Chain A
């Protein structure tokens, strides 16, 4: 920049002939009114832009966001409470259903037991009847067998007496067999 500005008159006291700074440009009082004037203009414009437009807008956005977040958190908390309540009622329903099922199972078991007992009793009766019948038949058979033994014994005794050359006295044989059988 410095080379192309020959012949200017910015403020000769603060500048060398070639347009370079003489000493510290910061201390050149000739420029200060200009700097101060434009600074004040800039600050005033900036202040009004910020004060009237930018800061209220950003403040409102931040407040709105904060409100939204707070509301959302409250809504989330509410939903969480609802979820907890729903879970609790579900658990209650589950417990009730379980108790109901237990009751039904117990009732069914009792029914079955009753039927089972009745069937067992009936079966026992039948078995008892069958056993009694069988015992009676066995007794009959035993009677029959005993009678047969007596007859065979009489016959055998008579035959033995005959074979030994005696005479058979039917009455004595019968008495003897009876005595033996009794003994």
Chain B
């Protein structure tokens, strides 16, 4: 971005999608750094959830207990937020959570590529949630699903206006859902890169490195928190589809 004097900072270069082999164009099937880092996330999840649990120990090993903690955490979240009926969709929620969490965490490795910093990725995730929740809701409640836009506790005159607002807010859900995640990771990684760029200036390099370390710690927190937020919102949306009407 900025090129002045002897050094330049390109905070957005880390988000460039590039082919793994050769210099061809990026077609939809091309093996790219997106493929690589999504694949690595998959490998990590496989290692933690399949390899580490292969002994099915009654007394868990360390890795197995980590997998059990994640299982219990998300299972409880689905049950408490989405209700008992939502537990059926626990594998889907777990898939989303683990993918987002591992993508966020792997993105913090130096020289890595953060797949969840791209709105194309988080947008698809959020759209899947949106479409999934809508379809589940319609298939479970039929047209009664749309009753949640009709706020029966409000005065009759206000209900049509509230219905419009409810529909707009419902349709905007995937937008906020996806941009929240991608925006957090994009901003954090860009700031990290800017700090790292300033580290090449001798005068301010101690400050820049300290800043980068601080931002890095914050980003580890953000990686967990954003995965958590994405998942709990998914559960909240799921509750609309499977839970009792709450309006």
Interface set of A (CB-CB < 8 Å, partner B): 1-2, 5, 7-11, 14-15, 19-21, 23-28, 30-43, 45-47, 49-51, 53-55, 57-62, 64-65, 68
Ordered by A's residue number, 16 sampled pairs between the chains whose C-beta atoms are within 8 Å are A10-B16, A21-B15, A24-B15, A34-B17, A34-B30, A34-B34, A35-B34, A35-B121, A36-B120, A37-B29, A39-B38, A42-B42, A54-B49, A55-B49, A57-B53, A61-B53
Interface residues of B in 1-29 (CB under 8 A from A): 10, 12-13, 15-19, 23-29
Q: Which residue of A lies closest to B102 (CB)?
A: A46
Contacts A34-B27, A35-B121, A39-B124 known; A1 to B13 CB distance under 8 Å?
yes
Check: B91 CB closer than 8 A to any chain A CB. Answer: yes
- Which chain A residues lie closer than 8 Å to B94 at the CB level? 50, 55
- Which chain B residues lie closer than 8 Å to A40 at the CB level? 124
Q: Are A24 and B67 in contact (CB-based, < 8 A)?
A: no
Q: Are A58 and B68 in contact (CB-based, < 8 A)?
A: yes
Q: Which residue of B lies closest to A57 (CB)?
A: B53
Q: Are A19 and B16 in contact (CB-based, < 8 A)?
A: yes
Q: Are B91 and A50 in contact (CB-based, < 8 A)?
A: yes
Check: B92 CB closer than 8 A to any chain A CB. Answer: yes
- Which chain B residues lie closer than 8 Å to A7 at the CB level? 23
Pick the 7 closest A-B CB pairs, nearest first: A8-B23, A33-B28, A54-B49, A25-B15, A21-B12, A31-B17, A42-B38
Q: Are A38 and B35 in contact (CB-based, < 8 A)?
A: yes
Check: B148 CB closer than 8 A to any chain A CB. Answer: no
Interface set of B (CB-CB < 8 Å, partner A): 10, 12-13, 15-19, 23-30, 32, 34-35, 38-39, 41-42, 45-46, 49-50, 53, 56-58, 60, 64, 67-68, 71-72, 90-92, 94-95, 98-99, 115, 117-121, 124-125, 128, 182, 186
Q: Which residue of B lies closest to A59 (CB)?
A: B71
Q: Are B53 and A58 in contact (CB-based, < 8 A)?
A: yes
Smallest beta-carbon distance A72→chain B, Å: 11
Smallest beta-carbon distance B191→chain A, Å: 15
Instruction: Name the one of A1, A32, A47 contacting B91, with C-beta atoms under 8 angstroms.
Output: A47
Q: Which residue of B lies closest to A61 (CB)?
A: B56
Q: Say what secondary structure dominates the interface of chain A.
A: helix
Contacts A39-B121, A42-B42, A49-B46 known; A54 to B25 CB distance under 8 Å?
no
- Which chain B residues lie closer than 8 Å to A8 at the CB level? 18, 23
Q: Are A42 and B98 in contact (CB-based, < 8 A)?
A: no
Smallest beta-carbon distance A26→chain B, Å: 5
Smallest beta-carbon distance A27→chain B, Å: 8
Q: Are B124 and A26 in contact (CB-based, < 8 A)?
A: no
Contacts A42-B42, A50-B98, A62-B68 known; A30 to B13 CB distance under 8 Å?
no
Q: Are B16 and A21 in contact (CB-based, < 8 A)?
A: yes
- Which chain A residues lie closer than 8 Å to B118 at the CB level? 25-26, 35
Q: Are B120 and A10 in contact (CB-based, < 8 A)?
A: no
Contacts A38-B38, A42-B42 known; A25 to B16 CB distance under 8 Å?
yes
Contacts A24-B12, A39-B115, A64-B58 known; A46 to B34 CB distance under 8 Å?
no
Q: Which residue of A lies closest to B70 (CB)?
A: A58
